[in-house]
Chain A
Amino acid sequence: MCLAVPGQVRDIFDAGGTRMGRVNFGGITKEVCLAYLPDIQVGDYTIVHVGFAISKIDEESAQKTLQMFHELGILEEELGSAS
């Protein structure tokens, strides 16, 4: 379940008391409800499910994960991958 797609917050506005934003998903901009992320700012990345931003993407954590993947290969070379 839970098709949630990452996008970048482009602007934030109020719509009748509800915090809304326009989020850019790789070139597509869509209006998204930001009510559940009161601290999110323009420029931040978030994941969006059914028109709602439900979590801010921790970019540092993402980079750490990608770095870990990168290092996986190096470790493998050092060990002289047998399998």
Chain B
Amino acid sequence: MSWTCPLPLRDYPNIVLGHGGGGKLSAELVENLFLPAFRNSVIENLGDSAVLRVPAGRLAFSTDTYVVHPLFFPGGSIGDLAVNGTVNDLAMSGARPAYLSAGFIIEEGLPMTTLAQIVECMRAAADKAGVQIVTGDTKVVEKGHGDGCYINTAGIGIVPEGRDVGPARAKVGDAIIVSGTIGDHGMAIMSVREGLEFDTIIQSDSAALHDLVEAIFTASNGIHVLRDPTRGGLASSLNEIAAQSRVGMALNEEKLPVKPDVQSACELLGMDPIYIANEGKLIAIVSQSEAEAVLHAMRRHPLGVDSEIIGVVVSERPGMVTVKTKIGGTHVIPMQIGEQLPRIC
């Protein structure tokens, strides 16, 4: 990272309460850290709000808060999650992401260089996603709160006409496609967390999916549902969609793409990759006749090379997701209660 601490901030190697106070220290932080990173004409106005000109039509609006710990992990950081996460939520509604806000809650004592690194990750992710961060806020909380740094991002995007996707739109007979290997992000986090350490580096799959989504819409207009499975993994997203669309889902275990090292880590901890978070994958539920075309388009995209058709939407047992195992038996994949915990039994 090429950021060097500019003069006014050099007196403060760590964030202090004053940086969130709205006074001189706050202003210096904005001028010398946030503005240079999120350089654009809107944010430089430093208005109370960002005023944006948007085309007429449907506006998608999403927000999410990021409380990941550790702040930096193999394959990413809270910074790129904060940008990619909201970009992805917008893209899953069929929108073209345009503008983000960024609200920071920083723990007193966070090193200035750490904050700068996080912000630099956000800048890089935003540039890659083609979005601008146009407004924000900073608060500082006392030491012992805030886990280093929490970030909220909200985003808006434009939904082009003709796109109508949503979790209640899955239809019986639809193909269920996943854009790549599952469980990467959650296992990357698990692998560095205290108490459960592995020596092999599993990388998070944090990525902005808007461009893959464009490729999907270009390939077909039979797209019914898009969802990026984050916390709770594939299982949770599919259960939610099944419930909202009032359909059942039948998956094929053999088709679920899992990286060997993620699979091994799950075996060791007694966890199931289908419940583990991703940050750069999507589920596409599309009409049966369009499935092959969509699959090919996805596989041609760098973020979708491992795409697979993993199952089909059925009428039996609405709201329930089942999977046929390699052995031949079938079992239900329920919504998990709380977090997945590693087990010895």
Q: Which residues of A contact B263 (CB under 8 A)?
A: 26
Q: Is the CB of B343 within 8 A of A27?
A: no
Q: Complex formed: what's the CA distance from A30 to B261 in Å?
A: 12
Check A28 against B261 for contact (C-beta < 8 Å): yes
B260 sits at the interface (CB 8 A)? yes
Interface set, chain A 7-57, CB cutoff 8 A to B: 22, 25-31, 49-50
Contact with B along A42-80 (1 / 0, CB 8 A): 000000011000000000000000000000000000000
Given A5-B268, A27-B260, A49-B344 contact (CB < 8 Å): yes
Among B199, B261, B343, find the residue whose CB has the most chain A CB atoms closer than 10 A. Answer: B199
> Do residues B267 and A5 form an inter-chain contact, with CB atoms below 8 A?
yes
- Return A4 CB to nearest CB of chain B, in Å: 9
Knowing A29-B198, A29-B200 touch, does A3 contact B345 (C-beta < 8 A)? yes
B24 to chain A, nearest CB (A): 50
B270 at the interface (CB under 8 A from A): yes
**Interface SS of chain B:** loop
CB-CB nearest in chain A for B191: A28
Chain A facing B: main interface SS:
strand
Tier of interface size on chain A: 10 to 19
Q: Sort chain B's interface into a size bin.
A: 10 to 19
Task: Give chain B nearest CB distance to A70 CB in angstroms.
Answer: 17
Q: Is the CB of A22 within 8 A of B345?
A: no
Considering the chains assembled together, what is the distance between the CA atoms of A74 and B75 in angstroms? Answer: 49
Residues of A within 8 A of B267 (CB): 5, 25-26
Residues of chain B contacted by A25 (CB below 8 angstroms): 264, 267-268
- Cα–Cα, bound, A5→B344 (Å): 11
B residues 248-269 with Cβ under 8 Å of A? 260-261, 263-265, 267-268
Query: Nearest chain B CB to A54's CB is how many angstroms away?
Result: 12
A82 beta carbon closer than 8 Å to chain B? no
Q: Once bound together, how far apart are the Cα atoms of A50 and B343, in whole Å?
A: 9
Q: Report Cα–Cα, A2/B202, bound state, in Å.
A: 25
Q: B269 — nearest CB in chain A belongs to which residue? A: A3
Are B344 and A26 in touch, CB under 8 angstroms? no
Bound form: Cα–Cα A49–B342 in Å: 13
Chain B: which residue is nearest A29 at the CB level?
B199
Most A CB contacts (10 A, CB to CB) among B197, B198, B264, B345 go to: B264
Whole-angstrom distance between the alpha carbons of A26 and B344 in the complex?
19
**Would A3 and B199 be within 8 Å (CB), given that A28-B264, A28-B265, A50-B344 are in contact?**
no
Q: Which residue of B lies closest to A6 (CB)?
A: B267
Asked if B261 and A26 sit within 8 Å, CB to CB, the answer is yes
**Cβ distance B58 to chain A, nearest Cβ, rounded Å:** 45
Q: Are B198 and A30 in contact (CB under 8 A)?
A: yes
A3-B343, A30-B197 given; 13 more Cβ-contact pairs under 8 Å: A3-B345, A5-B268, A25-B268, A26-B267, A27-B261, A27-B264, A28-B202, A28-B268, A29-B198, A29-B199, A29-B200, A30-B198, A31-B199
Listed A/B pairs (14) with beta-carbon separation below 8 Å: A3-B270, A3-B343, A22-B199, A25-B268, A26-B263, A26-B264, A27-B200, A27-B264, A28-B198, A28-B199, A28-B200, A28-B268, A30-B198, A50-B344
